[in-house]
Amino acid sequence: LLPSSPRWPRQGQRRGTLWVAPHQAFGFQVRSDRDKFVIFLDVKHFSPEDLTVKVQEDFVEIHGKHNERQDDHGYISREFHRRYRLPSNVDQSALSCSLSADGMLTFSGPKIPSGLDAGHSERAIPVSREEKPSSAPSS
């Protein structure tokens, strides 16, 4: 189903017996607690080579693109762009990004105590491949 489909659950609507939060319907979750900032993004149709993750100023930009390939229904190509604002106290020199065996991209960074410089500049974040499934919460 497409998000614009009338049967697609809207925020606050039921899907089966579960309530569907807007971020869960589209395969991502953002967590920001006292110690760290984490983004979980379902990118199961992409390999690490198809993904680009970079930090620019106070944003992380995640881009995925794969060329046309055959699937069960014909041929498909996919592309997405996501951009998230980083909290001002995220230590940008300690950011990491990994892709689990089941296609969950995890971007994370520790938070630093207030008053210290978080070091904001542009830089690419490499995507490492993990051989185990993600421990991210399922939707």
pLDDT tens across 11-65, in order? 444 444 344 344 444 588 999 999 999 999 999 999 999 999 999 989 999 999 9
List residues bridging with 42 in a β-sheet: 104
Residue 28 within a domain:
no
What is the residue range of 114's domain? 49-129
Residue 113 within a domain:
yes
pLDDT at 10 > cutoff 90 = no
Dihedral Cα 98, 101, 105, 111, nearest 10 deg: -50
3-state SS, residue 48: helix
Q: Which residue has the tokens 């984490």?
A: 38
pLDDT at 136 > cutoff 90 = no
Residue 25 within a domain:
no
Residue 37 and residue 17: Cα distance in Å, rounded?
A: 30
**DSSP per residue over 68-112, as a string?**
EEEETTEEEEEEEEEEEEPPTTB-GGG-EEEE-TTSEEEEEEEB-
Domain count for the chain, please give it. Answer: 1
Give me Rg for the CA atoms of the chain: 17
The one-character DSSP state at 111 is: B
CATH number of the domain within which 95 lies: 2.60.40.790
- Position 25 scores a pLDDT of 41
Is residue 62 within 8 A of residue 75, CB to CB? The reply is no
Is residue 61 within 8 A of residue 82, CB to CB? The reply is yes
Percent of the chain with pLDDT over 70: 71
- Position 106 scores a pLDDT of 96
Is residue 117 within 8 A of residue 103, CB to CB? The reply is no
**Average pLDDT of span 121-131:** 77
pLDDT in tens, 62-95: 999 999 989 889 999 999 999 999 999 999 999 9
Please, how many CA atoms are within 13 Å of residue 73, restricted to the half-sphere of its CB?
A: 2
Residue 58 within a domain:
yes
Among 107, 103, 139, 100, residue whose Cα is nearest residue 124: 107
Q: How are beta strands 36-42 and 59-71 bridged, if at all?
A: unpaired
